[in-house]
Structure 1
Amino acid sequence: MKALPPRRPRWTVVAAVLVTALALASCSPGDLGSGDGKVSLTFLVDNSDASVRPAEGLAKAFGEKYPDVQVEVEVRPQGGEGDNVVKTRLSTGDMTDVFLYNSGSLLQALKPAETLVSLKGEGFLANVQDTFFPTVSAGDGVFGVPIGGAMGGGVLYNRAVYSRLGLQVPRTWAEFMANNAKIKAAGVAPVVQTYQDTWTSQMFVLADYHNVAAAEPRFADDYTANRTSYARSPAALKGFQRLQEVHDAGYLSPDFASAKYEDGLRLLAAGQGAHFPILTFVVGTLVANHPDKVDDIGFFALPGDDAAKNGLTVWTPSGIYIPKTTGGEKLAAAKRFLAFVASPEGCAAQTKAYAPTGPYVVKDCPLPDDLPRAVKDMLPYFAAAGGTTPALEFVSPVKGPALEQITVEVGSGIRSAADGAALYDRDVEKQAKQLGLPGW
């Protein structure tokens, strides 16, 4: 896809931040500069509620504590278009002072050692749980702090529909499809899909990774070394097959090709759709847009073939990063901002602004008691031995950029599952060669 020029921000949030000698005394000498006078920071995030609202909350809380530095929140598109904005702005030296972006394999495509400021040695990293560091590291550098909580990839479902039809939460794919048949017979759309937001089309493939790893425990290592692939692995191919199966059975919601994920949440909340395969970060949008329906919406992991191995595919939080183009007083203020994000105060600001989507990976950051039902449904997977598996992009650097376009085609009946998997393997090969991985 051709890289697009950066969009003008739709709105700006301005928060004031005072960086005084007293506030900086707790940091390492030279880390943050003098902090005298006003400093203006720009902060780029994608335009989803799940990114904008926490960013606004952080800017506001940071400003209340340190009122002399401006933090301006800018927005970009989501998905592949947004990826191109980030890559273009980094390559042209036009990136904001700090920015939000994925952790894991997508971060590696930014060549962080060449484009981002390493935070290794900064004292505030002691507040971050060790499990997060591999997802934001490259070479000897550590490049980000977490924003938001861990997320689950699975299925939001309408509990009122389930209750009315006498359905049980499925633990196998066969049970899931049997539920879909009963739901369709009752006049409700069994599976909500929202392909206008192309990233949402990937869930039947990406959220299935717990099941892939259960069937093929060495898949991630073999995949990284080019000893297996989606087309060659029977377990991995099933994600594409299930995407096709749901379409071919006629189980998709009306207007699935043109709907956005907010439309999908509306259908789900209204009981016009029963299942929505999605990441749990959208629960915050559900709370904001449909507060009276929050208790009606539950969550379960994407079912596989073996009920005994049922479990959740987990996404670690995105990160906040500083590009190498940020320097001087701006670099000092940017590090101070990241220190605030990676603190209990930062977690509290995010919780106040947007319903948590899962456990924080910053130490001493408890979750509130009044969690949405869907988030509560996710927590037992974390408590169970072997109940969670990191998504493939956090255990392998290999992820092709065209997956969301390919899964739209498979999920729309334009391309077969086998053809989609083979096409994605070719897309992955290009990415692996760019990263210089052995075996490719």
Structure 2
Amino acid sequence: MTTSRRRPWGSLTVGVTALAVALTGCAGGSGGSAGGGESKTITWLVDNTENTVTYAEQIAKDFNAANPNITVEVETRPQGGEGDNIVKTRLSTGDMADLFSYNSGSLFHQISPEQNLVPVTSEPYMANVSESFKPVVTAGKEVYGVPVGTGNAGAVLYNKKVYEKLGLSVPKTWSEFMANSRKIKDAGIAPIIQTYQTTWTSQLFVLGDFANVAAASPGFATDYTANKAKYATDSAAIKGFEHQEEAAKAGLFNEDFASATYAQGLEKLANGEGAQYPILSFALPEIKVTFPDKLNDIGLFPLPGEDASKNALTVWLPGGVYIPKSTKNLEEAKKFQAFIASKAGCDSQTKAVGANGPYLVKGCDLPADVPTAVKDMLPYFEDESRNSPALEYLSPVKGPALEQITVEVGSGIRSAKDAAALYDEDVTKQAKQLNLPGWN
């Protein structure tokens, strides 16, 4: 195996150098090998979180063990809005890697898949992909991606030792959550971790609350897509903005919320410097990598709403791995995509970072020793009445400025009411760009 270093694409000052893994053969997703042939190099663009880079390197290494004559170079990009812009720019200029990882759902539609991506609907390896995943990487009548990672939840990760020390119970309503948070603050611990230097993390109060919105307004996603419902005027939908504003005004965030990063937020949670972090559960493998001895100190509960009897979990589907039309190595890219969409690909990810939810590839079972927080999450996944997909999987409408708007709400710069109205304006621009019925 040979390695090389490749500069991460984009204006990163702190990044992870790309891994180049020299491979020796070609194979399908099941890991079989084929004979000889000219050596090829393919590239895979992923975000720069430690968790993502760790499993990407492991997938490349295991692909190497079974497939000759291909070199995979893993490139990194920033997260959040900056990373979105890099993906869109590279697609528009024809400078995209041979494969790239990106969101499924509404953000997938914003990269013009029919114009920019290679359809893989009829590829044999797509038979391995769960039917529940395919709709969120489909445009027109074609499927464009395979899942990487597991199902996740937008929820509250909490430090169980802090809860035990203070005699707290998992809250089922927002008022119980606020009461817990005040007790935590009185104990000298940051009650709610916020990390606005990493802007995307600010959105969870709104996005992670959608299961509560769906319970209160079952038709919201349909009406929202048809321009018949708005965040500013729907009493359930605006709650996420209001809850973030309420928690900020109560002084329940860590003192350095404005400058703290996602990685620092996980450190605060793992070490008990902060008790509760509204975040995506894909943080769990990152905690495993960085704070392995603290992983099972972390539990999970849904963002609470108003009704304890309807306490439900907001679920995120995995992102996809896509092939741009600009690739000059289509056959090799499809072979690597096939490996990702196989049990061998799942096993690579579990070996690297553990499993933080169910895989959406057939034959990929979870190990018995999943983290405590995953055990907390699974009952909600297993009972459809206790979960809802996030809005971005039920509607193509998602405005790009939400993370900036929620930073303003959490920082006391903008009220919840004004923020919801501003986000409705942001959404309108996006819906018109997508030419959705009822918006023009």
Report the TM-score range of the alignment, normalised by the length of the smaller protein.
Answer: over 0.9
Distance 1:69 1:108 in 2: 31
Distance 1:90 1:412 in 2: 34
Shift of 1:158: 0.8
Structure 1 partner of 2:21: 15
Tell whether 2:13 aligns with 1:6.
no
Shift of 1:50: 2.5
What do residues 271-306 of structure 1 show as CA deviations (whole Å, max 9, x unaligned)?
Answer: 111100000001111111111211211010111111
Q: How does 1:261-276 map to 2 (within 5 A)?
A: 261-276=262-277
Distance 2:147 2:383 in 1: 24
Contact conserved, 1:45 with 1:73, CA < 8 A, in 2? yes
What do residues 116-163 of structure 1 show as CA deviations (whole Å, max 9, x unaligned)?
Answer: 000011010000110000100000110000000000110001111111
Distance 1:224 1:188 in 2: 41
Q: How does 1:9-408 map to 2 (within 5 A)?
A: 10-20=16-26, 23=27, 36-327=37-328, 330-408=329-407
Shift of 1:64: 1.0
Shift of 1:7: 4.3
Query: Residue 424 of structure 1 aligns to which amino acid in structure 2?
Result: Y
Structure 1 partner of 2:431: 432
Contact conserved, 1:153 with 1:314, CA < 8 A, in 2? yes
Query: Residue 187 of structure 2 aligns to which amino acid in structure 1?
Result: A
What do residues 167-209 of structure 1 show as CA deviations (whole Å, max 9, x unaligned)?
Answer: 1000111110111111111111110000000000000000000
Give the secondary-structure state (helix, strand or coil) at the position aligned to 2:23. coil
Shift of 1:424: 0.5
Gap runs ≥5 in structure 1: 28-32
Instruction: Decide whether aligned partners of structure 1 residues 10 and 290 sit closer, same or farther in structure 2, where only a CA change above 3 A counts.
Output: closer
Contact conserved, 2:254 with 2:274, CA < 8 A, in 1? yes
Structure 1 partner of 2:417: 418
Contact conserved, 1:42 with 1:71, CA < 8 A, in 2? yes
Give the secondary-structure state (helix, strand or coil) at the position aligned to 2:68. coil
Contact conserved, 1:16 with 1:66, CA < 8 A, in 2? no
Distance 1:403 1:55 in 2: 28
Query: Residue 166 of structure 2 aligns to which amino acid in structure 1?
Result: L
Give the stretch that moved more between structures: 34-43 or 342-351: 34-43
Contact conserved, 2:119 with 2:143, CA < 8 A, in 1? yes
Contact conserved, 1:210 with 1:388, CA < 8 A, in 2? yes
Contact conserved, 2:57 with 2:74, CA < 8 A, in 1? yes
Contact conserved, 2:146 with 2:340, CA < 8 A, in 1? yes
Shift of 1:385: 4.0
Distance 2:407 2:355 in 1: 28
Contact conserved, 1:89 with 1:95, CA < 8 A, in 2? yes
Contact conserved, 1:19 with 1:333, CA < 8 A, in 2? no
Distance 1:96 1:88 in 2: 12
TM-score, with structure 1 as normaliser: 0.94
Distance 1:26 1:294 in 2: 31
Give the secondary-structure state (helix, strand or coil) at the position aligned to 2:165. helix
Shift of 1:356: 1.4
Query: Residue 143 of structure 2 aligns to which amino acid in structure 1?
Result: V
Query: Residue 196 of structure 2 aligns to which amino acid in structure 1?
Result: Y
What do residues 41-68 of structure 1 show as CA deviations (whole Å, max 9, x unaligned)?
Answer: 0100010123211111110100111131
Distance 1:26 1:208 in 2: 39
Give the secondary-structure state (helix, strand or coil) at the position aligned to 2:191. strand
Structure 1 partner of 2:6: none
Give the secondary-structure state (helix, strand or coil) at the position aligned to 1:160. helix
Distance 1:171 1:385 in 2: 18
Contact conserved, 1:16 with 1:64, CA < 8 A, in 2? no
Distance 1:227 1:357 in 2: 36
Give the stretch that moved more between structures: 80-89 or 352-361: 352-361
Contact conserved, 2:24 with 2:68, CA < 8 A, in 1? yes
How many residues are treated as equivalent by the alignment? 428
Structure 2 partner of 1:30: none
Shift of 1:25: 12
Shift of 1:210: 0.2
Shift of 1:261: 1.1
Q: Kindly, what percent of the aligned residue pairs are identical?
A: 57
Distance 1:351 1:24 in 2: 20
Give the stretch that moved more between structures: 53-62 or 130-139: 53-62
Distance 2:30 2:312 in 1: 42
